[in-house]
Structures are given as structure tokens and as C-alpha cells.
Structure 1
Amino acid sequence: MTTPGIGQLDADLQRTVRRTSYMRQLFYVVVLLVALAGQVSGAVEALGIPLIWAIPAVGALELGGIVVLANADVRRRLGERATASRFLSAIIAAFAVAFNWMAHDNKLLAGFFAGMSALGYLVWLMHTENQRRDRLRAKGDLPPTTPAYEVVGHWVRHPWMTLRAKNLAKADPSLGLYGSLSAARAEKRKELRTSAISKVLHRKIRAAVDPTTADIAVAVYDLDEIAHRLADGADYDGLTALIAADLAPARLAPNGALPAPAKPEPEPLPVIDTQEQLALPEPPKNEPAPEPATEQSPASAQAPSFSPLGELRGEIEGILPPPRKPRTRQTTAEIAEEPTLSPTPLVREGSLRSQVYQILHEHIPAGDQRDVVALTTFVGDLLDLDDVERLTASNYVRTWKREADAGRRTAVNGRHLEDVMPAKR
């Protein structure tokens, strides 16, 4: 499929314009006849005017707005505003529409005739405005049409850049769609560059002279020329080396340490045939069997003497505190005097469990919210228990609290009754 040339497009456009002109004229004649029929029938029915006089009367009314509008268009092409003619044309058209609406009793028919009358006037108004804009554009008084920019890709994503490109396309129609966008981006970069150079130049000159002189210098010097000379003398190799130094792997690695390269995988050990081991000759009787010599695999024979466990042990010994000195005899004697975990004989009557249960039943009300630690402290203070006895009593307290939480506090059966009642010795 070949792309049509500019000449072929111009020829197609001319044929389309002529075809549209013929269709518009035919459409306006039909609309005018329908509106005129409505005006005539309304004048005959509502005003009682004879048909022979009603036709020229309403025809003048219907065509009056178009004639005045054409006169206003001629005056506007000559450079005038023609405000009075345009206003009078609008009043005549509005009167014709209102007369078609009010002159018929059937409002559906009245709306049809009134709509046709308004449609004919609006079509002619748009045609005259199009012709006026074409004349202004041909004379250079109206900017040319701009490219059709994309709604989402241009207007939604980059509205200000697209508006700048549209203005550039108005000033230079040869840019086209993508040329205007590229020119807009270049203009934006130029503005940013000029603003940065202006600030630096103003600060440098103001450091040597007064601010007014700095303003004059910024206004006089060609900032674009300064930008071009800076671009010509830019040291790209030095700037690239400066950035490459910051991106070096040794600088980016934590603590400046690079990761160790991956070690090659060890070769698999050779497989020893078990049948050969079973085929060894049996040692003679009454003689000690010689110990079979263990064959070292090639991998184990070539293994280095360095062991990673030794290095790990050295790191652990460096972290742990130094070993303690051996205990003396005095320290051993002191440890021997410390209490052991074996419970001491109780002087109180009954077992420790029965005493703990009895204290809890007598002093702890229902719904008590204290935990096992608080209850153990309470029982230990009442019974004057030592540390070992408190540890044992804590288990009894935990069992009692579990039963109490489950609603079995009063379940003192025969197994508990013997422990609760003091035993007579």
C-alpha cells in the first residue's frame, strides 16, 4: 500500500470541498422550504392571511435573518465588527422560530417547524464563520491549524509541554507533530540552562561589584553564547572518571570488602567396590588378624592440613571470657555448706501439699485474680518456707489454681481429705 502524495491529498481535498458545498446548498434549500411551509400554514391559520399574500410575507421573514447575516459577514471581511448587523440577524431568526412555535395549535408540529427554522439559520451561520476564518488564515491574520496531539499520551501526561508545542507549531507550521514536541523539549532545557547560568553569573559578579552592576552584566551578556562555550570546553573524560570513581565496586561494597569468589565444587569421591573388600583372605587361626590398612581416597590424601573447625574454635575462644581458676579448698568447703535440693524434714504436721491446699482454701476467696507467683509468695510467708520448699510449693499452687479456674475448687474427695485432715501420730 503506497502513501498518497501531497498533490493527491490536495486534489482529494478540493473534490471534497466541492461535494460538501453542493450538499450544503441542497440541505439549506430543503430546510428553507420546510420552515417556509410552517410559516405559511401558521400565518393562514393564526392570522387569517390569504395564502397568496402569506407566502411572500413569511418568505421575507424567513430570509431576512440570512440576508442580514450575509451583510454582516461582508463587513467583517472588510475588517469591521458589524455588531449591529449580527444582532439584528439574530433577532429576526429568533422571531421566525417563535412564530413557528406559537402559530400552530399542535405543539409537536409547531416544534418541528420551529426546529427546522433554527437549524437553517445555524447552518448558514457556521458556513459564513468558516469562510471568514479561511480568509483570515490565507491573509496571515489567523494562525494555521495545529497538529492533532494525543489526548492521553500528550495532553494528560504532559499538558504544559503539549501546550508549548502547540504554540510553537502555530509560529512555525513546518515543525509538524513530533517536530513541535522536540522543539518544546529543547526550549524547556534551554530555559533551565539559562536560568542556572544567570544565577551563577550574577553571584560571581556580585561578589566583586555591587548588585546593580551584576544585574546589568546578566542582562548584557549573551547567556546562550556562554552556554555554547561551556559545552565546547566541557571535560567529559574528567567528569566520566569522577562518576566512575564513585561507582567502583570496592567503594559500593560494605566496609570496602568485596565478596570472596565462589570456590569450585570438590570432585566426587571414588566408589569402593564392596565385593573386593569381601574377597580379602581370612587370617590364619591362632594368629592375630592383621588390621586391614585403610586406603585413603585421593581427595583425602590431598586434603590440606588446615581445618575450618580450628579457625572456628579460635574465634569462639576469643569471644568467650578466659577460663576460671581452679577452686581452692576453702571454696569447695563453702560449696559443700550450701543447701542441697533435698527437702529438709518438716516439723509441721501433715505433708507440704496438704498444708498448701489448706492455706489456699482458708485464705484465698473465690474469683481471686492473683497469679501463681503471688500465691506462692503468700503461702510461703504464712508457712515460713525456705527457698527449696517454695519451689516445691509452687507446683502445688499451680495445680490448685488450675483446678480452681476449672470450677473444681470444692472437689475435695477422699484422696484429698486424708491430706487435709491432720494425721494423728
Structure 2
Amino acid sequence: MAYERAVGGGRATLDAALQRAVRRASVMRQCFYVVVLLVALAGQVSGAVEALGIPLAAAIPAVGALELGGIVVLANADVRRRLGERAIGSRLLSAAIAVGAVAFNWLAHDDHLLGGFFSGMSALGYLVWLTHTENQRRDRLRATGDLPPTTPAYEVFAHWVRHPLLTLRAKSLAKADSGLGLYTSIAAARAETRRDRRQRAIAKVLHRKIRSAVDPKTADIALAVYDLDEIAARLARRADYDGLTDLIAADLAPARLAGLAPGEEPQAVRPVEPAPVEPTPVAEDLEPVEVTEVLPMRPAVVPSAALTEPSEEFRVIEAVRREWEELQRPSRATTRAADGDSPRRRSRTTARLPVPEQPPAPEADAEPEAAPASPAARRERSLRSRVHAALDSHAPAGGYSDSNQLVELVADVLKLDDVERMSAFTYVQTWQRDAARVPQQAGRA
């Protein structure tokens, strides 16, 4: 009872303050309108006297009728609207009279700045009266129940920007129920949104279930007859929350997250005990050691048996290195032969290099030397020498241009592998160059 008296007393105080504010606003509005009307009439009278040449005594009632004509017609339209009519004609005539008064104030003065001031005051007076009339009409409609009550002032960002549809529904609910405030209307709108979503889901499932047994028209009739809210309420009463909670808890079990098999228990992590540390003997307990001689350290000798066989890459690199050395030797020897072994043309470096002895030419009746059978025997002789010997013995006369055929010939005769075949291609080319120079040197001789 004390709370009701306090609430009632506060509401009475609020109503009394509201009534005082309404009376004060009405007095201020009337004073403001009188001042605005006098300024507008002064502008109308001065314009009529200057532009139309009407005497002052006749101009005052004429322009007064023009200025007040819009207000009079607007009041007549308000009365007709109270009786339930729309009064469109009276409202349009009132607006036309107000526009004529504003235009006359603008055109009747040569100084357009002064005419604009009087025109603005005339338009301001008409708009203030129009606003007051519309406010009174809405208050009467709200008092009779023909207009919904005012809605709460919702926040711009938190309500209209973030949740525009929800706020619009809350505003509609507040219009329907004047007891809903700002936050209660938002809560009611959220509850209604959840209910609509739940009803749509239930209707979709129910329609599919019934349509599977009967025709679609019967399913539509069932949806129209059954109360979906009642179905939702019974489903909520039968919901197994414990079972659903167990399903989620099973997925969040530590064993499942750790990837263990069903029934397997996680092993406990035992702390690792540190190994016992033996005490370091004190320097006093150690016996002194006499150093007689310091021997220099020598690198350890690795037995040859411990070395592994060289890799294929090492063999290729070593073969290329040997090929480069072999290529350098014949080029220098050939240069000396072309220069006639002249001491003036021979450089110091070339003079110091030993000239390799050319192997004796094979006799006509002697049989060609057979290729060694084992790989160890093939390595004893230089690959270049063997390739040149094979070409001297088996190359056809005049067939020096095709290097690939000569390589195939040498590979077949000497039984070369892939690495030696690559090296033999270079030696075949050197043999071809040497064979081509012999006829040229014979021609010069």
C-alpha cells in the first residue's frame, strides 16, 4: 500500500507539472504568434502602400484580411476534421492564402532583403499555427482511443542501427499495449521472434510428416487446425535435457579430445627423478702426477679397408678432370708440331712441358690389340689412348664427320659404360681434329 501511495503521489505530481507546462507553453505560443502577426502585418501594409499606392487607412484592413484569411480557413478545416471529415478543400484553400501572403510580402518591397524578412515572418506565423492545430487534433484522437499512445524513445545505435527489425516490432507492440515500456517492449519483441522461428520449424516438419501419409491439401488443413504453440509447449515438456547434455559432454570428454581408444585410460605422467650426483673429489685428496714429456699430437691413421667406395658423383667429377688434362696435352703438342717446333715461337711454359712420345704405328700384318677383359685392366691404360687406338684400328676411311657413330663404334669395341661413353665423345672429337690436320699438313709440305 505504501508503494502504491508513493507511485500514485509521484504520478499526481507528474500530471500537475505537465499541466503547468502545457499552460505555460500555450501562453508563450499566443504571445509569439501575436508578435509574428504584427510584424507580418507591418510588412503587408508597407508593401501595399509602396507598390499599390493604397492609402494607409484602407491598406490595414485589406492586408489584415489577407494575413488572417489562411488562419481562419485552417480553423474551419480543423472543426470539420473533428467531426470526422477530411476537409481537404479547406486545407488547400488555407495553404493557398498563406502562399499568396508570403509572395505579396516578397514582391511588394523593392529591397528584397527586407521583403524576405517580412515573408519569412508571415510563413513562420502560419506554420506555428498549423503545428499547434495538428498537436491538438492528435491529443483528441489519443484521448478517444482513435490514435495509439506514444511509444518509448528507442536508442539510435543500440536499437535502430543494430536491430532495426526488432526495434520496429517492439514499437508496434508498444503501440498495441501502452503498458509496455522501453525494455519490456524489446523483450516482448525478442520473445515473439523466437516464437515465430519455432512455429516455422514445427510447421515445416509437421507438414512433411503429414504429407508423407496423405495428400498435400490435407497437410495444409492439419497445419491450419493444430495449435503450433501447444505442440511447442508439449515438446518442451518432453524434452530430455539430460540426454542432450550427455551427448555434448561425450564430445567434450578428455579421452575423446586426446584421441584415445574407447576404454583406454590416459597414462599418468610420473615426475623424472634426477640421477644421483657423485661428489667431486677435492684437490687435496688427489695425488700429484709428474709430467715428464709432452708428445706432439698426430692425426689418427685410418686404414684403407675402412674407406668406402667412391660415389658415382665423385667418379664423374674425376673423369671430367682427367678428360680436361688429356685435352690440354694434345693441344700443346699439336701447337708445337704446327709451329715446326721453332724455339722462337715456343713459350717458356711450353718448352718445359715434356713432349709425350707417340706410340709406334701398328704394322700391317700385326693383329689389333684386343680390349682388356676386366675393368681393372681397362683402367691401367688411359681412356684417351684406348679410344684413339680403337679409332685408328676400326674407323672407316673418310668417316670422320659423324661423331655419334664413332662413339657407338668405340663403345662397342671397348665395352664402355655410361660414364666412359660421355668421356669418349670428347676423345672422338679430338681424334677427328687430329685426323683432319694430317692431310692439311701434308698439303703444305
Q: 1:112: how far off?
A: 0.6
Specify the alignment match of 1:279 in structure 2.
285
Q: Pick from 261, 264, 287: which aligns with 2:271?
A: 264
Specify the alignment match of 1:351 in structure 2.
329
Specify the alignment match of 2:199 in structure 1.
194
Specify the alignment match of 1:387 in structure 2.
419
Specify the alignment match of 1:163 in structure 2.
168
Matched, 1:253 2:258: yes
SS at match of 2:149: coil
Q: 1:346: how far off?
A: 9.5
Q: Is the 8 A contact 1:154 1:162 kept in 2?
A: yes
Q: 1:268: how far off?
A: 7.2
Matched, 1:99 2:104: yes
Provide the aligned length of Structure 1 versus Structure 2: 314
Gaps of 5+ in 2: 1-6, 290-308, 310-314, 334-402, 411-417, 427-445
SS at match of 2:85: coil
Q: 1:209: how far off?
A: 2.4
Q: 1:24: how far off?
A: 0.8
Question: Using a 3 Å threshold, how does the CA distance of structure 1 residues 239 and 350 change in structure 2: closer, same or farther?
Answer: closer
Q: 1:182: how far off?
A: 1.0
Cα separation, 2, equivalents of 1:278 and 1:353: 76
Question: Using a 3 Å threshold, how does the CA distance of structure 1 residues 46 and 244 change in structure 2: closer, same or farther?
Answer: same
Cα separation, 1, equivalents of 2:328 and 2:52: 130
Specify the alignment match of 1:90 in structure 2.
95
Residue type at the aligned position of 1:387: V
Q: Pick from 42, 49, 59: which aligns with 2:54?
A: 49
Residue type at the aligned position of 2:109: H
Residue type at the aligned position of 1:279: D
Specify the alignment match of 2:219 in structure 1.
214
Question: Using a 3 Å threshold, how does the CA distance of structure 1 residues 103 and 273 change in structure 2: closer, same or farther?
Answer: same
Specify the alignment match of 1:230 in structure 2.
235
Q: Is the 8 A contact 2:207 2:223 kept in 1?
A: yes
Cα separation, 1, equivalents of 2:128 and 2:43: 19
Q: Pick from 141, 147, 168: which aligns with 2:146?
A: 141
Q: Deviations over 1:129-172 (max 9, x none)?
A: 01101111111111111111111111111111111111111111
Matched, 1:65 2:97: no
Specify the alignment match of 2:295 in structure 1.
none
Q: Is the 8 A contact 2:255 2:266 kept in 1?
A: no
Q: Is the 8 A contact 1:249 1:258 kept in 2?
A: no
Q: Deviations over 1:352-379 (max 9, x none)?
A: 8979xxxxxxxxxxxxxxxxxxxxxxxx
Q: Is the 8 A contact 2:48 2:59 kept in 1?
A: yes
Moved more, 125-134 or 13-22: 13-22
Q: 1:67: how far off?
A: 0.8
Q: Pick from 176, 198, 209: which aligns with 2:181?
A: 176
Cα separation, 2, equivalents of 1:340 and 1:64: 116
Residue type at the aligned position of 1:351: R
Cα separation, 2, equivalents of 1:87 and 1:38: 24
SS at match of 1:200: helix
Cα separation, 2, equivalents of 1:135 and 1:153: 33
Q: Is the 8 A contact 2:316 2:419 kept in 1?
A: no
Q: 1:202: how far off?
A: 1.9
Specify the alignment match of 1:243 in structure 2.
248
Cα separation, 2, equivalents of 1:206 and 1:57: 80
Identity of aligned residues (%): 66
Question: Using a 3 Å threshold, how does the CA distance of structure 1 residues 118 and 350 change in structure 2: closer, same or farther?
Answer: closer
Q: 1:269: how far off?
A: 4.8
Cα separation, 1, equivalents of 2:322 and 2:230: 103
Cα separation, 1, equivalents of 2:216 and 2:65: 75
Cα separation, 2, equivalents of 1:26 and 1:82: 28
Cα separation, 2, equivalents of 1:268 and 1:347: 62
Cα separation, 1, equivalents of 2:113 and 2:154: 44
Cα separation, 1, equivalents of 2:325 and 2:101: 127
Q: 1:121: how far off?
A: 0.4
Question: Using a 3 Å threshold, how does the CA distance of structure 1 residues 352 and 65 change in structure 2: closer, same or farther?
Answer: farther
Cα separation, 2, equivalents of 1:345 and 1:43: 123
Q: Deviations over 1:81-121 (max 9, x none)?
A: 11111111111111111111111111111111111111100
Alignment of 1:8-47 (within 5 A): 8-47=13-52
Specify the alignment match of 1:205 in structure 2.
210
Q: 1:270: how far off?
A: 4.4
Cα separation, 2, equivalents of 1:353 and 1:180: 105
Q: Pick from 121, 124, 146: which aligns with 2:126?
A: 121
Specify the alignment match of 1:377 in structure 2.
none
Question: Using a 3 Å threshold, how does the CA distance of structure 1 residues 115 and 264 change in structure 2: closer, same or farther?
Answer: same
Residue type at the aligned position of 1:10: D
Q: 1:381: how far off?
A: 8.2
* TM-score after normalising by structure 1: 0.65
Q: Is the 8 A contact 1:341 1:388 kept in 2?
A: no
Cα separation, 1, equivalents of 2:31 and 2:284: 115
Matched, 1:77 2:55: no
Q: Is the 8 A contact 1:144 1:173 kept in 2?
A: yes
* TM-score after normalising by structure 2: 0.62
Q: Is the 8 A contact 2:45 2:60 kept in 1?
A: yes
Cα separation, 1, equivalents of 2:81 and 2:14: 31
Residue type at the aligned position of 2:220: D
Q: Which has the larger radius of gyration?
A: 2
